[in-house]
Amino acid sequence: MAKVDYSCLIPNNVGLSSDKALLRGLRDWQTRFLSWWSEVGPQVFGDSEVYLRTAVSPATWGWAHFGYVRMHEYRWGIFLAPRVKDRVIPGGDFAGDKVWQELPSEHRQSLQRLIVVQADAEPASVEQQRHLAGTCPSLYDCRNLFQVNVEEARHLWAMVYLLHTHFGEDGRNEADALLARRAGATDRPRLLDTFNEPCAEWLSFFCFTTFTDRDGKFQLGALAESGFDPLARTCRFMITEEAHHLFVGESGLGRIISRSADLSRRDPNGDVAAQGGIPLEMVQRYINHWYSFSLDLFGSEISNNASEYFAAGLKGRRSEARVPGDRLVLKSTVRIPQMEEGCLVDRVVPMRLAMNELLRREYVKDCGRVIDRLNRVLADAGLDFRFTLPHSRFNRHHGMYGKTRFNPQGEPIATGQWEAERELWLPTEADRGFLASLMSAPVVTPGEMAAWISPPSRGINGMPADFKYVRTGR
């Protein structure tokens, strides 16, 4: 396995020092990347020393080093998972053929598109989260936010390496465009709507890392099966980092819920908000918002593009080796309910056309397990309230359900009913105002927590809860 070369200005395990032209191109891009980071990266405590992990090896175990780093001095690098000997294309028309180490020219356009769309999400999330440190509930949480931010930026690096290495001038232009778009900007927005949504409160941040980062886990899982081996290896290493992001989200939601449970017991009327906590109904509305927006990221339920990507071996089925049955997927079908004259009608669709929907259904199941775990927190606290996942047709903006209104049970409803009830289902202006008042200042004393969240059960890398995870200078 190639070791990480830290003597190079860009840490890497891809032998960058021996390719001077590539190194020069990436060094130029690095300068632009650093101005992007200072312009739209973390805006509060951005110059502080932060207790961060940095990748030191692409091996699954023992790959990180922990220490204080100023974020703009973070060693963003290029790490590919080790090459699998004699790897073959796992599924589609070319199943069993040797994977490509060089870009297959006939798939240049499609692979470039797949890489750019995945890459665009990475800097977008950093931009969406750039003000959150200003209202952090603790130094522990602030550090976790920054860890997520530097790793999303590293994922951008991973994709830019592929663009510079394999796509020539087009790739370099796309790499620059990734630094030019801005989350939420009207004139040059990010490519996917979810990454233009404001993520202004910590409740949104925890939902985002639970549900939107979880989309990343599934997309990267499908790209890790690509026949274009450099892309597959890049994505395999990114998945390793993604696990911590999901932990930050789910444990954050769990801590909010357990705090709300404590506060509701303290109040004679069970009023969490009156005690300075976040009401569970509000948490449910934020779950509904971020979960439904994240479902859109999987693309159309029936998709010719997805079918072609699968057939050509560009994007596989996640964990292909564990999927039973036929690798070509020529005979299998999927039932997908479709809207016809105002009613849902079950239609049978060739599975190749439903690759997006298959991946989305796996994601839905995984999110269901998250909800079960959160409900266990409520049950342990002796509360009757339970969270639910809205139906995958609810509040969709894209795909075949994007044009009809559905209630959280997935039944089609009239626009009037949607308007009348949406405030029960989705975050309201009042919710946003309430959270803004609850989270008006950062908590920066080591070991202290904002009143609306419980402390974590353990610190990072064996450090105590009152460790100074961010040296804020205060």
User: Which string of x and - marks every residue 42-81 that binds Fe ion (by CB under 5 A)?
Assistant: ----------------------------------------
Judged by CB under 5 A, the chain residues 165 through 224 that form the site for Fe ion are: 213, 216
Token digits of residue 426:
């989705």
Q: Specify the stretch interacting with Fe ion by CB under 5 A; choose among 146-154, 351-359, 369-377, 456-464.
A: 146-154
Number of chain residues interacting with Fe ion (CB under 5 A): 7
**Minimum distance, C-beta of residue 63 to Fe ion, in the bound complex (Å):** 16
Calpha distance 288→390 (Å, rounded): 6
Burial 271-305 (b: 16+ CB within 10 A, else e): ebbebebbbbebbbbbbbbbbbbbbbbbbbbbbeb
Residue 3 buriedness (CB in 10 A; 0-12 / 13-18 / 19+): exposed
Nearest residue to 460 via CA among 72, 142, 201, 74: 142
Q: How far is the CB of 396 from Fe ion (least distance, A)?
A: 22
120: contact with Fe ion by CB under 5 A = no
Buried b (16+ CB within 10 A) or exposed e, 82-111: eeeeeeebbbbebbeeebbeebeeebeebb
Q: Per-residue string for binding with Fe ion, 307-326, x by CB under 5 A?
A: --------------------
Q: C-alpha angle 406/203/153, rounded to 5°?
A: 100
Closest to Fe ion by CB, 120 or 122? 122
Q: Which amino acid is at 201?
A: E
Rounded to the nearest whole angstrom, what is the least distance from the CB of residue 162 to Fe ion in the complex?
14
Smaller CB separation from Fe ion, 302 or 460: 460
Q: Choose, by CB under 5 A, the member of 143, 164, 244, 245 that binds Fe ion.
A: 245
* Residue 383 exposed, middle or buried by CB count within 10 Å (0-12, 13-18, 19+): middle
Nearer to Fe ion, 122 or 225 (CB): 122
Q: CB count, 10 Å around CB of 180?
A: 11
* Identity of the residue, 143 or 285, whose beta carbon is nearer to Fe ion in the bound complex: 143
CB of 135 vs Fe ion, minimal distance in Å: 21
Query: Of residues 149-168, which lie at the interface with Fe ion (CB under 5 A)?
Result: 152, 155
Structure tokens of 242? Answer: 């993604």
Nearer to Fe ion (CB atom), residue 201 or residue 213:
213
Taking the C-alpha atoms of residue 182 and residue 176, their distance in angstroms, rounded to an integer, is 12
d(CA 307, CA 325): 18
Phi, psi for residue 64 in degrees, rounded to 5: -125, 150
Residue closer to Fe ion by CB (options 153, 435) is 153
Q: Which stretch binds Fe ion (CB under 5 A): 75-83, 194-202, 238-246, 311-319?
A: 238-246
Which CB, 144 or 284, lies closer to Fe ion? 144
As a whole number of angstroms, the distance between CA 460 and CA 142 comes to 12
Beta carbon of residue 122, minimum distance to Fe ion (angstroms, whole number): 5
Q: How far is the CB of 155 from Fe ion (least distance, A)?
A: 4
In the complex, the smallest distance separating the C-beta of residue 298 from Fe ion, rounded to whole angstroms, is 16
Nearest approach in angstroms of CB 329 to Fe ion is 28
Q: Which is nearer to Fe ion, 247 or 434 (CB)?
A: 247
User: What is the contact surface with Fe ion in residues (CB under 5 A)?
Assistant: 122, 152, 155, 213, 216, 242, 245
